[in-house]
Amino acid sequence: MLQPDLSVLNDNANIIQCLCYHNALSGTEISNYINKSIPYTVKVINGLIKAGVIEKKGYADSNGGRKPLKYSLVPDTFFIVSVAMSQYDIEYAVLNLNNQFVKDIVKEKIVIYDMQADELVARIDQYIRSTGISADRFLSVGITMPGFIATERGINLSYLHVDADTTLAEKLQQGLGLPVFIENDSTAIALGEQKFGAAVEQNDAMILNLGWGIGLGMILDNKVFRGHSGLAGEFSHISLVNNGKICKCGKRGCLETDSSLIAITENAVLEMQNGQKSSLKNYDVVDANAIINEAIKGDMLSVKLISEAAYNVGRGLAMLIHIMNPSTIVLSGKGSVIGKLWLSPIQQAIYEHCIPQLANDTELVISKLNVKAQLLGGSVLVIEHLGQPLINKINALQNKAVTIDDK
């Protein structure tokens, strides 16, 4: 089979997107999704089959009459590189257009506070080369990371600073020779949960990123909400606790200073120094992974610290419920693997600090995607930018190459 031209995907972005998110659909379902007539939709589908992008996937169930034919994307025409960063580690994955992980997830330790853009380029480039997949088979790279990120402008105001005459996305793009989109990690997790997780078909939901910090992604009217400047969702910087600690943002009393995995780790070390018994003492280095592991096993100190942190998270969520009235709150991210330990104290705080009618109308659920939510969100980030945004990225790369050749 000949490799399809990338322009076919961009010219038919709406159909490609609906099949990416729904795996297999009938012609009528695709027609309803893209809001076009059935004859027009069938004509486009046939063209995409001829181009090697779509394939027939058998027949759907029927209550009577002729069974409708279903269609799906040919999975391995193009691939997406998803890079999920936190403050202290980075994960890489390759996904096909059916959102299947086609390579094992690779994880490395980093310190984002010290990282430069050139180092990130080198790390991603090394990973891409290690996959053995030809560069022309990659659609784009979706990079998700902490910080104040304006996605459409391609800038991170917090980390990985670059020269004033360029943006972080442009810097990474030129270094990798592939289109690059960047997004805040919590917003990416919301994208992953919205398309494939606990927030599917939820018009109004809040997705909590329980990680080194405490991030928040918001879905309003079935769309991810980024705010006026693209910086919405800084839940962890609500001034909520009276611990006197200075947050890295410069303010005192931010929720992050009390309830993030970083804060929980610091509190665990301090408690043990003060004589508190804990199985954490068996670890050479006490970090978030150690606390999560021991909490699952029932270590009293780990459970206590997580429960105390979760209660304050619930207090913050009660405020947001009064403002946003979401149908669902999803506990996702790194820390959600111990979701049941978060669930009860968060729910308790919500009931104590929230108007009963609002509290009862909001469902609190635990993500089943866990640590994969952010990687899936990086893939969704690319799919969401099919069409003109991706074309613009490709043109920028080509124009830059022409300029260099002219020199």
The C-alpha atoms of residue 371 and residue 96 are separated, in whole angstroms, by 18
**Radius of gyration (C-alpha) of the chain in whole angstroms:** 23
Q: What is the CATH number of the domain that holds 13?
A: 1.10.10.10
Q: Note the pLDDT tens digit of each residue in 210-254.
A: 888 889 999 999 999 988 887 888 898 888 888 888 888 888 889
Q: Is 334:261 a contact under the CB 8 Å cutoff?
A: yes
pLDDT at 69 over 50: yes
CA distance 192 to 253: 30
125/238 same-domain check = no
Pair (215, 132) in one structural domain: no
User: Looking at residue 23, what is its pLDDT?
Assistant: 85
Q: Is residue 256 part of a domain?
A: yes
275 and 396 in a single domain? The answer is no
- Give yes or no: residues 52 and 132 share one domain: no
Whether the pLDDT of residue 65 is over 70: the answer is no
Using pLDDT thresholds of 50, 70 and 90, give the confidence band for residue 379. Answer: very high
Q: Which residue has the higher pLDDT, 206 or 65?
A: 206
Residues 94 and 68 in one domain: no
pLDDT tens digits, one per residue of 7-23: 888 999 999 999 999 98
One domain for residues 328 and 297: yes
**Which of 54, 73, 92 is the C-terminal boundary of a domain?**
73
64 and 205 co-located in one domain? no
Percent of the chain with pLDDT over 70: 96
pLDDT of the residue at 66:
76
CATH number at residue 308: 3.30.420.40
Q: What is the pLDDT of residue 3?
A: 55
Strand duo 79-85 + 69-73: pairing: unpaired
Q: Is 396 part of a structural domain of the chain?
A: yes
DSSP type of residue 5: P
User: What is the C-alpha to C-alpha distance for residues 92 and 80, in angstroms, rounded to an integer?
Assistant: 11
| 1 belongs to a structural domain | no
Q: 285: buried, middle or exposed (CB in 10 Å: 19+, 13-18, 0-12)?
A: exposed
76-96 pLDDT tens trace: 899 999 999 999 999 999 999
What tens digit of pLDDT does each residue of 103-112 get?
999 999 999 9
**pLDDT, position 96:** 94
Mean pLDDT confidence for 350-369? 93
What pLDDT does 164 receive? 86
Rounded (10°) angle between helices 372-384 and 185-196: 80
Cα dihedral across residues 393, 394, 399, 402: positive or negative? positive
48 and 133 assigned to the same domain: no
| HSE-up of residue 404 (Cα within 13 Å, Cβ side) | 8
Look at residue 150 in the predicted model and tell me its pLDDT: 87
d(CA 212, CA 177): 31
Residue 253 pLDDT: 87
Interatomic CA distance for residues 253 and 295, integer angstroms: 26
Give residue 1's pLDDT: 38
Tell me how many domains the chain contains: 3
Q: Does 347 lie in the same domain as 318?
A: yes
Do 53 and 133 share a domain, yes or no?
no
Residue 404 binned pLDDT confidence (cut-offs 50, 70, 90): very low
Task: Among 51, 73, 95, identify where a domain stops.
Answer: 73
Phi-psi group of 244: left, alpha or beta (phi > 0 → left; psi -120 to 50 → alpha; rest → beta): left
Residues 341, 216 share a domain: yes
DSSP notation for 60-127 = ---SSSSPPEEEEE-TTSSEEEEEEE-SSEEEEEEEETT--B-S--EEEE--GGG--HHHHHHHHHHH
Please give the C-alpha separations between residue 347 and each of 131, 140, 234, 316, 360, in angstroms, as whole numbers: 43, 40, 21, 12, 10
Q: Grade residue 366 by pLDDT with cuts at 50, 70 and 90.
A: very high
Q: State percent of the chain over pLDDT 90.
A: 70
Which of 288, 293, 268 has its CA nearest to residue 278? 268
Question: Looking at residue 323, what is its pLDDT?
Answer: 92
| Burial zone of 357 (CB within 10 Å; 0-12 exposed, 13-18 middle, 19+ buried) | exposed
| Structural domain includes residue 195 | no
Of 23, 42, 73, the last residue of a domain is: 73
- Would you state the pLDDT for residue 251? 86
Residue with more model confidence, 244 or 407: 244
Which of 263, 247, 253 is closest to 211 using CA atoms?
Answer: 263
Indicate the pLDDT class of residue 62, thresholds 50, 70 and 90: low
Range of the domain at 244: 200-368
Q: What is the pLDDT of residues 138-173, one digit of tens each?
A: 999 999 999 989 888 899 988 999 998 899 999 999
Three-state SS for 125-160 is HHHHHHHCCCHHHEEEEEEEECCCEECCCCEECCCC
For residue 256, what are its two tokens?
A: 């992050």
Does residue 400 register a pLDDT over 80? no
Q: In the numeric block, which tokens belong to residue 360?
A: 């009862």
Residues 229 and 335 in one domain: yes
pLDDT band at 407 (very low <50, low <70, confident <90, very high): very low
Q: Is residue 194 part of a domain?
A: no
CA nearest neighbour of 103 among 334, 367, 375, 386: 375
Q: Which residues of 188-204 are buried (b: 16+ CB within 10 A; e: fewer)?
A: bbbbbbbbbbbbeebeb
Cα–Cα distance between 188 and 168 in angstroms, integer? 17
Please enumerate in sequence order all residues whose Cβ is within 8 A of that of 93, keeping only pairs 6 or more positions apart, or say none: 81, 82, 84, 101, 103, 105, 106, 375, 378
Confidence band for 401, pLDDT divided at 50, 70 and 90: low
